[in-house]
Amino acid sequence: MRHTLRPLLAAIILMFFTGCLTIEENYVFKKDGSGTMEYVVDLSELGEIMKSLDGGGKDGGASGTKGLSTMDMDEEVAALQKIPGIQKVKVNKKVELVQRVSFKFKDLVALNAALNVLMKDSSGTTTEFFKWEGNDLVRVNNDHAYELGAGMAETANEDEAEGEDSSDMDMSAMLETMKYKFSFKFAQPLGTVVSAPEINAERPNTKEFRMETDFGVIGRNRQALDLRLPLNK
């Protein structure tokens, strides 16, 4: 009984808790290099799952998300408000378990300072996320997303290792359902965007670029989120 139950439980966990995290970076750039940025952490699908699992309670399942509902980005918002060149910092929590932080930036210096607040990694160093190389806007990344994905996989593997029997649950498959998205809007047309081959890219029109990848890809390729965006000025 025990031998067959553990793989079944692992399969249930994989089925219910995939696709529970989506992170978005949404940018709008003006011709002078200023613009707006929105950073989104979306755990709403996890909240719906937890409510359904706890649906028999008197609170209609709300207790299942109580701990997650306390998650916020108050410290990051306070730090953003102190950065020169960053204005109109706003937080949108209208949707449960979805954190949306948006702001206006004066230039890339201000934007990079803000991204170093929102996307810290374990190195403790400052990253120049965006820079101009001629008419190309170049985006590079630190290990923030990589470490987030690696941390989820490590935790899952540790939980699995605690059992006497090793399950067939593929943690890489779970990471592949957790998404990371970019969107860019520019005042001028874009040329051919250079990106990692593993990502899914979309060009709604000549001035927009969208991409989506998953934490499985990020775990295999630390440069998966790097971009070169040539602008036709």
Rounded to the nearest 10°, the torsion over CA 182, 187, 192, 196 is -20
Q: Is residue 1 very low, low, confident or very high in pLDDT (cuts 50, 70, 90)?
A: very low
Is residue 112 within 8 A of residue 129, CB to CB? The reply is yes
Q: Answer whether 181's CB lies under 8 Å from 223's CB.
A: no
Over residues 116-143, mean pLDDT: 95
Residues 38, 65: Cα–Cα separation, whole Å: 24
3-state class of 27 per DSSP?
A: strand
Share of the chain above pLDDT 70, in %: 71
Give me the pLDDT at residue 131, please. Answer: 97
Higher-pLDDT residue of 232 and 67 is 232
Q: How confident is the model at residue 165 (pLDDT cuts 50, 70, 90)?
A: very low
* CA 146 to each of CA 85, 114, 166, 180, 219: distance values in angstroms, whole numbers, following the listed order: 28, 19, 25, 11, 6
Is pLDDT above 60 for 168? no
Taking only the tens place, the pLDDT of each residue in 3-54 is 444 344 344 444 445 557 899 999 999 999 999 999 998 887 655 555 555 5
Per residue in 193-212, is it b (16+ CB within 10 Å) or e — as a string? Answer: bebbeebeeeeeeebebebb
pLDDT of residue 48: 53
pTM, two decimals, is 0.80
* pLDDT above 60 for 149: yes
Question: In terms of DSSP H, where are the helices of 2-143?
Answer: 2-16, 44-53, 66-69, 74-80, 108-118
What is the rounded distance in angstroms from the CA atom of residue 199 to the CA atom of residue 228? Answer: 14
Residues 6+ apart with CB under 8 A from 61: 50, 51, 52, 53, 54, 55
Average pLDDT, the chain: 80
| Averaged pLDDT for residues 95-111 | 92
**pLDDT of the residue at 164:** 42
Instruction: Calculate mean pLDDT across residues 219-232.
Output: 93
